[in-house]
Amino acid sequence: MPELKVTADHLKRDAYLYVRQSTLRQVAEHGESTERQYGLRDRAVVAGWPVERVHVIDRDLGKSGSSTTARDGFQQLVSEVALGKAGIVMGLEVSRLARNSADWHRLIELCALTATLILDEDGIYDPASFNDRLLLGLKGTMSEAELHILKARMRGGQLNKARRGELEMCPPVGLVYRNDRTIGLDPDLQVQNAIRLVFDAFEQTGSAMQTVRFFREQGLLFPRRLRTGPNKGDLLWAAPHHARVLQVLHNPRYAGAFAYGRTRIRHRPDGGTSVVKVARADWQFVMPGMHQGYIDWERFEANQRRLADNARAFGGERRSGPAREGPALLQGRVVCGLCGERMGVRYSQEHGSTVPTYLCQANAVRRAGWTCQTVPGKIVDAGIADLMIELMTPMTLAVTLEVQRELETRAAETDAARRQHVERMRYEAELARRRYMKVDPDNRLVADSLEAEWNDKLRRHAHAAEDYKRRSKQQAAALSAEAQRRILDLAEQLPRIWQDPRVESRERKRIVRLLIDDVTLIKSQTITAHVRLSGGATRTLVLDRPLPIAQIRKFKPELVAEVDRLLDHHCDREVAEILNKHGWRTWEAKAFNLKKVAFIRCAYKLASRYERLRRRGMLTTREIATKFCVSETAVHTWGRQGLISKCYTDSLNRGLWEIPPGMTIRKGCGGRGARPAQLTASPRHHRNEVQYEALALSLGRRGRAGKIAVP
């Protein structure tokens, strides 16, 4: 008999009745089930428990029994059982206590340890008894299976409708359900233009982040529809974020396709759930062309390929990525010709400018080996730039016209979006005015609130109108006749525009990616670049390797020969001036100076002007004075008289003298009263010979002066 299981020890403790319904809707609409659960108190009273010692735990009404998460009532029940305060635990059925076998068996184990009975609508069970425990375990398993069956039944119906593409799911902003339960475009034109502008901006910029930047630079807003709360269904306008733009670009509903199974729900250890995105290949149902969309399926596919290519810049291999700001023209398109891996980019400074270098680090990163090869980017990029100009020249005119049409279309779209925003602000201001005019003036609490709302709407409308006017003027200036004329001149100016430093590197890269799939580089005696074009054609470029810095800094042989020739007749300073006059420059494009010429002499072991004059027999002042037995003052006097010429002078007025050939010196008479000899001519030679008498070289008693005879 079940009553025999209730002992005096059980009656000393309290009885606990657990009441639960899965949802609040069940609580509101299925009242009989709740009443039946509360009616179990009478079973406890009949078994011997006083009414005041029968505790009802109904804190979990409206909560699911599939887990103990957020079930405070069940946690309280388990605590009371574990403390030995419960003599009996009551529930209408096992499914009311728990629908999870782990939670149910944990409760059974605690009841067995504390000698606590379990009561349901069928009877009383002692968890310490094997037969009762076996029966309770079986009921718990059936309760869990029942939940699984219910879910499978609902899941089957859901999948059946999804298989036909008729499952109603909450559409994204910009799409709404019509009265015939088909999906169409939102009737709000501002919403439609905002969605279309996202796809157009992404097609123009090629990046979701650049699309966000375009919206923010243009001051455009993007809609969001509230899904919950008292204002459910209302539109909110705000500046878009990167995640929001990605949601729009990745959503196939905007392409008119029905897609099911894009996400899955995973249960966390804490009892919560998380939504996990599923790879596109694992989507359960994808049906293009099921309803009207903003783009076609081919354009959606192209967007997904571009987004996937951009996302590869953040993966482990970093094999590609969107066009960046750096000057490397082939960023994400270079393949190593030695190992076949993708090559990265490293930037460095050279003469104040940023230059790229393509390097393959796959072997170094993965296997701690050596870098395969490094290729100077300035050489490769220059060759690719010439190839781009060669490829684009035939289609320049078509590109020019397309650019003009694209600018006009883009300007019209942004202007329409701003104008619709101003119109929406005007409508909201007018609606706030009508609300204020309908209120009773004596009801100041409501009137003041509506008046403040009206003023706020008026300020927003004025700000939007002013912003629209300002941006319209800027846009009109940008599309002036002069700007259109410059666009039409693009056909003739394409090479100059490509080299223009004001053109962003990102734009050049986007052009390259349209025409080139990848470039394989091999560096040996020369740099070989195998270019694979988008259409499948290939081009091979053979480029010269850049000279080492030692070769670049080395002076040209013709320059050294010119310096060697000039040193025969000029000093270092004069040589530098002559080189600069003739347009010679150093490897740094700087003018020559005294130090540069001296460096060339020392580096190439060229004789200086002084050494060359010495080899030609030029004598110093002291050497002449010693040779002719005169003083150094006399030598300088001869130089002033023009008898001998000075060919070289340093900063201390020291130099070399040139003595005419055949010159002799004849002693004269010294003394204070001596008369200088007269100039005479010698009849011994066929031509006239003039004798020059040297002036007295000393005054007073300095000795005799000499005179030089010059034939």
Residues known to be catalytic: 22
Yes or no: say if 618 and 575 are a contact pair by the CB < 8 Å rule: no
> Given phi > 0 = left and psi -120 to 50 = alpha, else beta, which region is 605?
left
48 backbone φψ class: left, alpha, beta (φ>0; ψ -120 to 50): left
According to DSSP, the residues that pair with 342 across neighbouring strands are 335
The answer to whether 369 and 363 have CB atoms below 8 angstroms apart is yes
Side chain identity at 460, as an amino acid letter? R
Which amino acid is present at 130?
F
Query: Locate tokens 């003083």: which residue?
Result: 631
Residue 124 bridge partners (DSSP): 119
Q: Which of 316, 239, 243 is nearest to 277 (CA)?
A: 243
Q: Could you tell me the two tokens for 22?
A: 């899965």
User: CA–CA separation, 452 vs 439, rounded Å?
Assistant: 13
Phi, psi of 158 (to 5 degrees): -65, -45
Is 58 in a helix, a strand, or coil? Answer: strand
Of the candidates 102, 27, 100, which has an alpha carbon nearest to the alpha carbon of residue 65? 100
Q: What is the separation of C-alpha 356 from the centre of its chain, rounded to a whole number of angstroms?
A: 17
Q: What are phi and psi of 428, to 5 degrees?
A: -65, -35
Render 579-643 in DSSP notation, one character per residue. Answer: HHHTT---TTS----HHHHHHHHHHTTPPPHHHHHHHTT-EEHHHHHHHHT--HHHHHHHHHHTS
d(CA 134, CA 129): 8
Handedness of CA 658, 660, 664, 668 (dihedral sign): negative
Q: How far apart are the first and last CA of the chain?
A: 163
Report whether 547 contacts 584 (CB < 8 A).
no
For residue 58, which of 42, 72, 69, 47 has the smallest C-alpha distance?
A: 72
- Buried b / exposed e along 26-44 (16+ C-beta atoms within 10 A): ebeeeeeebeebeebbebb
What is the C-alpha to C-alpha distance for residues 332 and 320, in angstroms, rounded to an integer? 4
